[in-house]
Chains A and B, each alone.
Chain A
């Protein structure tokens, strides 16, 4: 017993075996571009979120966009990060100023947040891509 879905991943070479010259393209068979391969580096540590709000519009992150977040990446200066500050999610640009963590918005209407040492701060993951669908 096998399910038909197992057949979905098999490529059929549409060349008759019997006679004549085989298609020269058969040696160059390839799969279609796979968006997952392009967008996801490490599936085990990758999570998707949907954002609402306008604090990051200067770098093209708008309400309704889906962001791909990789927890395996070590956050460094200038990364866009999903952070948890005092139990609350924040999406900001990470920067270090005089040894302090500063979380910056990408919208002049929002003030940067200086993270004091007495606050409960953690980087949840690093944003590696944003997906915007038009239709």
Chain B
């Protein structure tokens, strides 16, 4: 059996651990730059705050209802997540960390499965203070549904076993809420009068294959209890690496945007080098705000001559690509770079038509390693290419950020006694 452990309103819960006075009060956490809502307490949900809604649209609601607002403190959330996952590892050797607040683990179904889930839930709550829900079923897709049902229960545990009336329960699951269907396919299902998980499993395989694709068919099989997505315990090798940011103040000038793009390319290269990968192609994108006139967004990809993990080469390419999509008189609110088609470093062979000699490639690599070393020991702001922002770091808007309770000695929780 597969159990899905899902932290309840994770970011809000992390903030509440260090602010017990927020119990029972509406709390929200905002995305990077305080752009939109990414986590809500139950009280905030009841007030009608939607997931993903931009901050400026709910200013009045926040004021009237005295909602407590936090900027995202990912340093804190990542630390708490690591603690939760560590506890899970003591219950099962087979664990797949699916996201910062969710993990699948393999558990055997037996008479005291409920008690086992109870123990997991209690120990996470006790050791870390994070409240979690557990859904258990034959497949990941059903476990996702079980967690939805668990969250509606007081005990936060739901197990699909031989006694549960699966068909009846699936009648209450909107097709939109099924893992793997979501926004992407739900509209086409609605058009075909398929509204719930129950409707979906009444269909036949060939109809699904002719109207949708193999992935939807896998979801369908999983709903019927056939495992198509086993637990993946190995760390998934990344297919691409992205660095993007929203800007506090919109950017009009090419020169400034170029510097940011080079910052992103530099950070992206570092992340890729940590994974010991090389990239074959790169994408650059820029966007204006969607909430104002004159909307524009540009996206472009380009190939490298040979796969590369060279900071300088990747930086140069980012400028080149940006030139092709930059449009004057647009106010850019967001930009980013993506390194695609990643190869393993080990599989790299010095190409036949490499620039001049092998020695040159190796000497470049030692420069790159020195850059790695300086970044990993002293941070991003200590070494830069001349094409980057030299004067200041990225200004991000985090007006309501909580202290780094777990990672900075001068920011640990202070208690008056």
Contacts and interface: CB of A to CB of B under 8 A. Distances in A.
Contact of B377 (A5, A50, A82): A5
Nearest to B90: A44
B41 to A, nearest CB: 14
A88 interface: yes
B417 A91 contact: yes
Nearest to A67: B415
Q: How large is the interface on A (under 10, 10 to 19, 20 to 34, 35 or more residues)?
A: 20 to 34
B242 interface: no
Contacts of A124: 20, 129
Nearest to A123: B126
Interface string A47-59: 1111111111000
A58 to B, nearest CB: 12
B20 A89 contact: yes
B373 A4 contact: yes
B369 interface: yes
Interface string B367-378: 011001100110
Given A72-B126, A124-B20, A49 B415 contact: yes
Interface string A70-86: 01100000000010100
A45 B369 contact: no
Contacts of A61: 417
Contacts of A89: 20, 415-416
Interface in B269-285: 273, 276
Nearest to A122: B20
A90 interface: yes
B77 to A, nearest CB: 15
Nearest to B85: A44
Contacts of A90: 417
B412 A5 contact: no
B316 interface: no
B128 interface: yes
Interface in B69-83: 83
A52 B273 CA distance: 45
A3 interface: yes
B208 to A, nearest CB: 44
A51 B21 CA distance: 18
B412 A48 contact: yes
Given A44-B127, A87-B21, A89-B20, A5 B376 contact: yes
A71 B127 contact: yes
Given A1-B372, A124-B20, 5 more contacts: A5-B376, A51-B416, A53-B417, A87-B22, A90-B417
14 contacts: A1-B368, A1-B372, A47-B413, A48-B413, A49-B414, A51-B415, A51-B416, A52-B414, A66-B412, A71-B127, A71-B129, A72-B127, A87-B20, A90-B417
Task: Please list the 4 inter-chain residue pairs (A to B) with the smallest Cβ-Cβ separation, ordered nearest first.
Answer: A45-B127, A87-B21, A53-B417, A91-B417
Interface of B: 20-23, 83, 86-87, 126-129, 273, 276, 309, 345, 365, 368-369, 372-373, 376-377, 405-406, 409, 412-417
